[in-house]
Copies of this chain bind each other. A is one copy, B any other.
Amino acid sequence: MRILVANANTTEAITQACVAAARAAAAPGTQIIGATPGFGPAVISTRVENAIAAHALLATLAEHAGAVEAVVLAVSHDTALDAARQMMPCPVLGMTEAACLTACLLGGSFGVLTLGQARPYEELVARHGLAARCAEVVGLPLTPQQAIADPDGAAAQVLAAAEAMAARCDSVVLGGAALAGLAAGLQARSPVPLLDGIACAVTLAEAMVRMRLPKPRAGSYAAPQGREAIGLSPALAALLRG
């Protein structure tokens, strides 16, 4: 099984880190293929960058349409998730949505823990229609740079937050690239399960491939047909024409 792990920003190191995390989570026999957009923001941290990266991500995915059996969007904002699902002939999973749905399968309410502002993740959970299952979103007062410079300090703060969140949450989704990979090391000490977006998305992607569900032929997730555009990459233009 070939799964594309597609970064939405142009920083190759982030792609490589996500590919490594995906490989650690994948079943034997699953091949992980990384992809990095050819244009767009270095790291997405604003609404403007997220909107631009949607185009860049779709152009990247278009290069792989038909050549992979599933796609994992390696970006915690689940950038362009609905458009990618419409465009691609295979299942597409967003890492934050996948972690939230895994939390639902565990039962009860989940929390989301991230760095910086909580608000964008609250919006994301609501847009995914999962607000009723989400007890709280907590933003640690840390920048990604600080978290990467002092991983032990960041881990301690994450664990303390998870302990506090356990009063209301039956599991905690770790949101944001800077927290990726922390879950495994802290799992044994956390009172509730910690969910890593890449691990959840890759495992659920494998499940979706095995279910062999057809693509919708009607509605707004049916593949585009006969749509004209100018100035797009050949692969993207071809998918719009159908």
Contact = CB atoms under 8 A, between A and B. Distances in A.
A7 interface: no
B93 A105 contact: yes
Residue in A80, A129, A239 with the greatest tally of chain B CB atoms within 10 Å: A129
**Copies of this chain, whole number:** 6
A121 to B, nearest CB: 11
Interface stretch (A15-23, A147-155, A174-182, A224-232): A224-232
Interface in A181-230: 187-188, 190-193, 195, 199-200, 203-204, 206-208, 210-211, 213-221, 224, 227-230
Residue in A55, A105, A127, A133 with the greatest tally of chain B CB atoms within 10 Å: A105
B230 A218 contact: no
Nearest to A193: B213
- Counting from the closest, the 6 A-B pairs by CB-CB distance are A39-B231, A129-B132, A55-B55, A191-B218, A51-B83, A85-B107
Interface of A: 10, 25, 27, 38-43, 45-52, 54-56, 58, 80-83, 85-87, 91-93, 97-98, 101-102, 104-109, 117-120, 127-133, 135, 166-171, 187-188, 190-193, 195, 199-200, 203-204, 206-208, 210-211, 213-221, 224, 227-232, 236, 239-240
